[in-house]
Structure 1
Amino acid sequence: MKKLLATTISAAFLLSAFALPATAAVKAGATCSKAGTTNTSAGKKFTCVKSGKKLVWNKGVVIISSTPTQAPTPNQSGAPEELPVVSLASDFISASECKLNKAGNNPDLYTGFPRERKYIPATGDRKSIVLFVDFPDLPADQRAISVWKQTQVPWAEKALAAMSYGRYKLKYELQEKFYRISTPYGAYIKSEAGNAPGSIPAQALETNKLLTDAIVAADPDIDFSKYDFVNVVTPTFKPKTEGGASGGQGFSADGRTSFLATLGPIDEYLDDSTKKNWLLHETGHLLGLNHIYAGARGPAGWDVMGNVFGMDDFLGFNKYFLGWIEENQVNCISASSSKESIHLLTPVGTTSTGTKIAMIKISQSNGVVVELRRKTELDNLSEANSGVIVYTLDTSIPDNQGAINIVSNPTKFGSDTRKNRVLLGSMGVGESTITNGFKIKVIKSVTAGAYVSISKAN
């Protein structure tokens, strides 16, 4: 027995001595050495990111098999059809390189990174407070509470949770009473116009004064320290005034001396089903987003920040800006790249993991973004209008002047909720577009997403 035991131990020792070394498993939160590097472990792709002053592995995303969920389509010979081979992560530059720089001195007027600290948090379980006010010469309109309770709040909460993939769960708490502001309402109306060019003429509001007086009136009832921002809802003013996103300061309420806010009269959206997303749009501004197209409504149908009557879901770059799309879901391509790359893009509007956007970095302020749009509750698309869209982005162009421009499929149009003809630009299999010296082509569509080729144009 002793001899047999010794032999067994010796054999085990020899096996361990000559075994090949195993690769250590990557764990989320563990330290790593170089930002942007990736590692695959246990079916996930991890990316080295900066957290505070440390470099750590992020939580990783599940790697989607290149095999579609439906059975492969046989070709004429009866053999399963082969799928395109997706490019390796090493073919791309760090996704952080595609965080195009914000331009100008006023961050409210430009898109791009970094996201200013003054904006409201974009992740986690958050809260906002809704205040209803009236005036001695303008009594309350009871419809204000019902339209917020039944339309504006439910849609904004549902949309933000869906478009953030559950990363941002915002609750609007309604204070279901009217607070009387002692000052006549005319004192809050400015003499100059306050609306975007091309929209219905409206006067600007003294937003800081209105917000401050509303907070002071409600302060005895409310602990304002619990909320990220405030919403002030008024009756309809005459002459017509422009509501929207703003801010106020100069008060003291439960340790808060300033707030970002949405505020204004209810006539902007009352009895108008096409404006159920008014609150969603204005909250987008408080998150740091602006009007992305040329003109208040713009010619394109994507993103509630560009066309409030089109598709509600944000474009992929806006989600990247807010942190809802992570770096390991972005394939960033250098403008100097001469190698063709293949990408399996998963739909921007769904919670599916994998690559959400491919970007070509042209310069520090210019880029090309490629993403896949399919039917969701927020994007009510027909199958014919679903597909890959391509848009250029110039962060040096200010609000409402066309920082984003759809460049794919100029013949693909659709209708928005007001039956306006809008550009969709979506591309199906075999369709392509050329921009900034690159050709982007859709080469295959599967249940998981769409395969896209990006190469230098000849």
Structure 2
Amino acid sequence: MPRIPHPEVDVPRQLPPWGLTRGGERPRLRSTAAALTSLTALAATGLVAGPAIARTTAGPCALERTEAHHSEGLDTWNTAYPRPDRTLDAVMVFLSFPDSPPLTDPDDLAADYFPATSDFFDRASYGKFALRPHPRREWVEMPEDSTSYAIERDWNASRRSAYLRDAVAAADPSVDFSRYDLVYLVADPDAPGVDSDATKVVNFDRPMRADGSDIRRIVTVFERHPPDRNVLAHETGHVFDLPDLYHRPTDGKGDWDTYVGDWDVMGSQFGLSPDLFGWHKWKLGWLDPRQVVCVSDGGRRLTLEPLSARPARGGIGGTKLAVVRTGRGSAIAIEARGAEGNDRETCSEGVLAYHVRNEEPPGGGPVEVVDAHPDAEACWGDSVYPPLADAPVGVGESFTVPDADVRIEVEGRTATGSWTVKVSAG
């Protein structure tokens, strides 16, 4: 059974200032003393810029970005996050501990994540985004034993702050943080105090300062060796303002994958169809506006290219996403999913529909896949959630979205593998 997903962050608002090292000296960073002050919880108001409702600039079917953490509104970009529409550089620092000499070489750990993570985003973005890793070749030793930090999934805030403080201080003599857009801190997986359920992204309400630059967030990695597949792609998605799409039960028990199942890595890193939803590709700037069709009253016929299909070199590609606006803060998105690219292991192909809501927080259902076959399941033993593994509408099938006046009819496929679809709305 796969492990439950990682939370993004849950830390209190205030953290202590820099303390003393074992030798009684205050840590000294190469250019600027880092300040770990005011880490926030999930709904970090300092990270969600702009008014609750902003002027729409992306067309009539684009939902407005709201104050919800990682809002699915995409009319404007939240500039507190780096937008992955260019090459971004990521440093990967490997942390060891005095109580546990490392058993693995940093190069081997780096190979757990790269080039796989870069390849995932290259495929997902159609080559529009490059994640360029810079793994360090040596271990950086932390000042305290691994057990002293009490690392765990729902981590004590003071222990977490001490870990981050010590890690940046220990790495700074050999790492120029000003050169990088992303920071990955990878703990020795064999250290006794390292908990593989503690991997997450930590957001800073007030940025850390190191080497004259701001660090707004850090990805803390505590994975086993080898790690969960696609785990770093999932965590990196948070760095780009994407929400957790899984459902976290209030008691920690029950199924976590009821909202989106295998569809989109932000739901599960274990999914058979982990490519990002077309809505997310639109949000991140990977879809050209001409590839998004707004369906108004009366509906229309259209041809949908498989979401993972890469356009010819220099080309834009065809229509990837159809959107029906269902309310001020909601829409139904429609896209074709096929067995290629990041979805090459998909359980089923067809036209997938899902609800998008711009006010829902991570874990609250900002995206919910619509199951076109609610009385059937598929891919037991492989799918993270078999009831949704066969969610797409197939050729010759029609389906009406429950509680919405939207009907999808898949009429056929073209010679190039695109799907001909009639969408009726209103």
Establish whether TM, by shorter chain, passes 0.5: yes
Offset at residue 136 of structure 1 (A): 2.3
What is residue 238 of structure 1 aligned with on the other side?
Answer: 193
2:406 partner amino acid: F
Partner SS state of residue 169, structure 2? helix
- 1:394 pairs with 2:391: no
Deviations 1:68-122 (A, max 9, x none): xxxxxxxxxxxxxxxxxxxxxxxxx995222212344x524x4323331111231
Alpha-carbon distance in structure 1 between the residues aligned to 2:141 and 2:381 = 36
2:410 to 430, 434, 442: 442
Offset at residue 433 of structure 1 (A): 1.6
Offset at residue 218 of structure 1 (A): 2.0
Closer/same/farther in 2, CA of residues 130 and 224 from structure 1, 3 Å limit: same
Closer/same/farther in 2, CA of residues 328 and 181 from structure 1, 3 Å limit: same
What is residue 392 of structure 2 aligned with on the other side?
Answer: 426
Alpha-carbon distance in structure 1 between the residues aligned to 2:275 and 2:419 = 19
Offset at residue 301 of structure 1 (A): 1.3
What is residue 421 of structure 2 aligned with on the other side?
Answer: 452
Q: State the TM-score, normalized to the length of structure 2.
A: 0.74
Structure exhibiting the larger radius of gyration computed from Cα positions: 1
What is residue 343 of structure 1 aligned with on the other side?
Answer: 302
Closer/same/farther in 2, CA of residues 204 and 305 from structure 1, 3 Å limit: farther
Offset at residue 309 of structure 1 (A): 1.1
Closer/same/farther in 2, CA of residues 266 and 308 from structure 1, 3 Å limit: closer
Sequence identity (%): 25
Alignment coverage as a number of residue pairs: 346
- 1:265 pairs with 2:222: yes
Alpha-carbon distance in structure 1 between the residues aligned to 2:399 and 2:420 = 15
What is residue 12 of structure 1 aligned with on the other side?
Answer: none
Deviations 1:251-306 (A, max 9, x none): 54221132422113233xx235xx22111110011111111242484132111101
Gaps of 5+ in 2: 1-55, 249-254, 312-316
Partner SS state of residue 362, structure 1? strand
Alpha-carbon distance in structure 2 between the residues aligned to 1:417 and 1:125 = 37
What is residue 374 of structure 1 aligned with on the other side?
Answer: 338
More helix by share: 1
Alpha-carbon distance in structure 1 between the residues aligned to 2:337 and 2:129 = 21
Alpha-carbon distance in structure 1 between the residues aligned to 2:173 and 2:237 = 29
Partner SS state of residue 114, structure 2? helix
Partner SS state of residue 378, structure 1? helix
Q: State the TM-score, normalized to the length of structure 1.
A: 0.69
**Higher RCO structure, 1 or 2 (CA under 8 Å, sep 6+):** 2
Deviations 1:142-177 (A, max 9, x none): 25541322x312110101011001010111111011
What is residue 328 of structure 1 aligned with on the other side?
Answer: 290
Closer/same/farther in 2, CA of residues 220 and 203 from structure 1, 3 Å limit: closer
- 1:167 pairs with 2:136: no
Closer/same/farther in 2, CA of residues 154 and 415 from structure 1, 3 Å limit: farther
Deviations 1:432-455 (A, max 9, x none): 221211111111211331111111
More strand by share: 1
Contact 2:188 2:194 in 1 (8 A): no
Offset at residue 193 of structure 1 (A): 5.3
Offset at residue 413 of structure 1 (A): 3.7
Deviations 1:389-426 (A, max 9, x none): 11111222221122212214124643388554431311
Contact 2:194 2:222 in 1 (8 A): no
Q: CA RMSD in A?
A: 2.7
